[in-house]
């Protein structure tokens, strides 16, 4: 008989920034964001203002990810979060292919790896230990093609490591959306990668799609201009 999961309606935010996106989780999805992990101190201060009484874990996730796991288990022992969100730094993301990356490393023109790109893997360690019902990874479209140097210095596609790092149980889908398709008066394309817990026998897989699935596209709105958005303001 399969083990019964005990899901807590709460979220963990990794690479939280100032917590602006988490306001959508808290108030748009009605999922309380209980724990935040953020490197920049001033951003953490803003999170504390907007989310009174919640826990902000400061510092580099490379060293604090174990603290995130410990804090969750202390408060919600034996429960799985409903959601974990990850928005790792995008500055190191590259659209170069694996062959070019390896060539540049051999020529000494590129470091063996960009430390910032590997931060996602520390975030996935939190996912691995807490096993949430849903996972949401948000980043620039270039993340889809970003390659890092993996074990034995082999170039690997970053997102594909989800299938290796996480245990069985998850179904992932990844696609690019433009905020302008949702009545935001601004073209801003982001790569959205979502994971859903299936069951412990399900081989964790990632489906990289060229365009958003139909169940996303059906929510598209007619684009609006900045003029249309702000004309009625003073």
DSSP annotation of 24 reads I
d(CA 193, CA 201): 21
Tokens of 167: 């245990």
Tokens of 10: 């709460």
Burial of residue 147, with CB atoms counted within 10 A of its CB: 0-12 exposed, 13-18 middle, 19 or more buried: buried
Query: Are 9 and 32 a contacting pair, CB within 8 Å?
Result: yes
pTM for the model: 0.87
Q: What is the pLDDT of residue 94?
A: 52
Cα atoms in the Cβ-side hemisphere of radius 13 Å centred on 96: 15
d(CA 38, CA 58): 5
Maximum CA extent, the chain? 63
State the angle between helix axes of 61-75 and 119-130 in degrees (0 to 180), rounded to the nearest 10: 20
Q: What is the pLDDT of residue 1?
A: 47
Q: What is the pLDDT of residue 232?
A: 87
- In the chain, which residues have pLDDT < 70? 1-3, 91-106, 108-115
Burial of residue 93, with CB atoms counted within 10 A of its CB: 0-12 exposed, 13-18 middle, 19 or more buried: buried
Helices (H) and strands (E) in the chain, counts: 8, 10
d(CA 203, CA 225): 44
Helices (H), 107-150: 119-130
């Amino acid at each position: 008989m399969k083990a019964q999961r005990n899901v807590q309606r709460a979220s963990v935010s990794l690479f939280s920034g100032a917590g602006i996106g988490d306001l959508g989780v808290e108030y748009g999805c009605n999922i309380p964001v209980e724990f935040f992990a953020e490197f920049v101190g001033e951003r953490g201060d803003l999170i504390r203002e907007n989310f009174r009484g919640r826990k902000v874990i400061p510092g580099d996730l490379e060293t604090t990810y174990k603290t995130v796991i410990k804090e969750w288990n202390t408060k919600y022992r034996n429960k799985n979060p409903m959601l974990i969100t990850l928005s790792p730094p995008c500055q190191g993301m590259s659209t170069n292919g694996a062959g070019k990356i390896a060539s540049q490393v051999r020529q000494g023109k590129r470091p063996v790896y960009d430390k910032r790109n590997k931060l996602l893997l520390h975030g996935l360690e939190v996912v691995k230990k807490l096993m949430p019902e849903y996972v949401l990874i948000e980043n620039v479209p270039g993340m889809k093609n970003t390659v890092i140097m993996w074990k034995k210095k082999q170039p690997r596609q970053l997102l594909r490591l989800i299938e290796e790092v996480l245990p069985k149980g998850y179904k992932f889908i990844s696609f690019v959306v433009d905020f302008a398709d949702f009545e935001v008066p601004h073209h801003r394309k982001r790569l959205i990668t979502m994971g859903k817990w299936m069951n412990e026998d399900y081989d964790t897989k990632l489906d990289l799609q060229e365009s958003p699935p139909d169940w996303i596209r059906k929510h598209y709105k007619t684009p609006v201009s900045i003029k249309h958005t702000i004309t009625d303001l003073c």
